[in-house]
Amino acid sequence: MRLEVLTPTHVGSGEKYSAIDFVVKGDRVVFIDSMKFFEEIERKGLDAVEVARKIGSGVGSVGDYIRDLSNIKMREVSLIGSPSRKKEILMHTKSRGKPYIPGSSVKGAIRTAILWKEVKENRSLLEWTIRQIKYELGKERYLQKKDLGRLDDKLEEKVFRRTTLEGTKQGDPKNDLLRALRIGDSSFFDSWSVYQVKFLGMRSFSVLAECIDGGQTAEIAVDFDRFTLNHLGQRLDLDDVIHASREFAEEVVRVETSRSYPEEAKQEFRRVLKARGTILRIGWGTGWYSSTIGTLLKTHPEFERMRRKLRLGRNRNFPLTRRVTFDSKPLGWVSIHD
């Protein structure tokens, strides 16, 4: 199948390029071989440690020391944003120097969409979730992220682990429905850029991130294990995935376009719904609504009181942060189709 990137997408590797790894030249970012850079510095008779310290502290850049970068350049990509002396760039997941999208990221997004649809269609699941949160809050302690994670795991057990196979315990991962959904890593993408990502509502704060460009496509393997489905006594097919992802995407777009985004960004949100196949939102910068059942939780009459106790945000506008690229595109929308 084809995985099509609809808007700039960043799946982080957990690493960052430091100021010693790149130079911003107008609307281009030149990535350099830092070892070769230091060799050149030493040939000039300069102290490599002192140069590294100055660049790291924002006093100058690689380009201030070496004007001709041709001997130390590794690659060059477009910069979609305002040239500035940013000290780091978020690194996209790569292999052999080329970006790809991990199958785990795609599967995680599908899992969220199916979970959201199940809770939407079964109000008792939402009420159960609210009761569990209230119970934990009743212990009069601050719920940490790991506590909320455990609640999420319990909800997923109720949705995805309904069958208890012989020789397993209730909630055992071996009973998970999505064991039957196998998704490989995508093939490599040929085009990517560095985007300035703006945090709306946070004045002028922004970061630079490597993103796969919208319009790029790659191959991805998606398969359903019929033996596992039969063993679990449940059903799941591509139509189920498509319908859940589309309903979830439509709800996310509806909620996001009701928030304070530039009009160009709202148009981009609506445009993704025209894509074929399974529509998903993956990676960094996608926000609370796209990675949780938050659109459902916020409809519950007790959510606001719980939000305050959970210390989620400072006011009723939670979640406050909205991220868009410099050219007003929301992050992370992809589709999977034939």
Mean pLDDT of 271-289: 96
Beta strands in the chain (DSSP E): 2-5, 12-18, 22-25, 28-32, 73-80, 88-92, 94-95, 98-99, 181-183, 192-200, 206-212, 217-219, 222-224, 278-281, 322-325, 333-337
In a domain, 182, yes or no: yes
- Does residue 136 lie within any of the structural domains? yes
Q: What whole-number distance in Å separates Cα of residue 302 and Cα of residue 154?
A: 20
Question: What is the total count of domains within the chain?
Answer: 1
CA–CA dist 69, 30 (Å, integer): 8
328 in any annotated domain: yes
B/e letters for 227-248, b = 16+ CB within 10 Å, e = fewer, are ebbeebeeebebeebbebbbbb
Q: Within a domain: residue 94? A: no
For residue 21, is pLDDT > 80?
yes
pLDDT of residue 140: 59
For residues 177, 183, 185 and 190, what is the CA-based torsion angle, rounded to 10 degrees? -130
Quote the domain boundaries for residue 300. Answer: 2-10+100-337
Within 10 angstroms of residue 272's Cβ, the number of other Cβ atoms is 22
Lowest-confidence pick of 5-9, 20-24, 183-187? 20-24
Q: What is the pLDDT of residue 165?
A: 83
Distance of CA 117 to the CA centre of its chain: 20
Is residue 228 domain-resident? Answer: yes
**Given this model, what pLDDT does residue 316 score?**
66
Query: What pLDDT is recorded for position 145?
Result: 62
User: Is 38 domain-assigned?
Assistant: no
Q: What tokens does 313 get?
A: 């945000």
- Asked if residue 113 belongs to a domain, the reply is yes
In this structure, is residue 212 part of a structural domain?
A: yes
The answer, as to whether pTM is greater than 0.85, is yes
Which one is predicted more confidently, 185 or 168?
Answer: 185
**Averaged pLDDT, 138-151:** 67
Q: Give me the pLDDT at residue 201, please.
A: 78
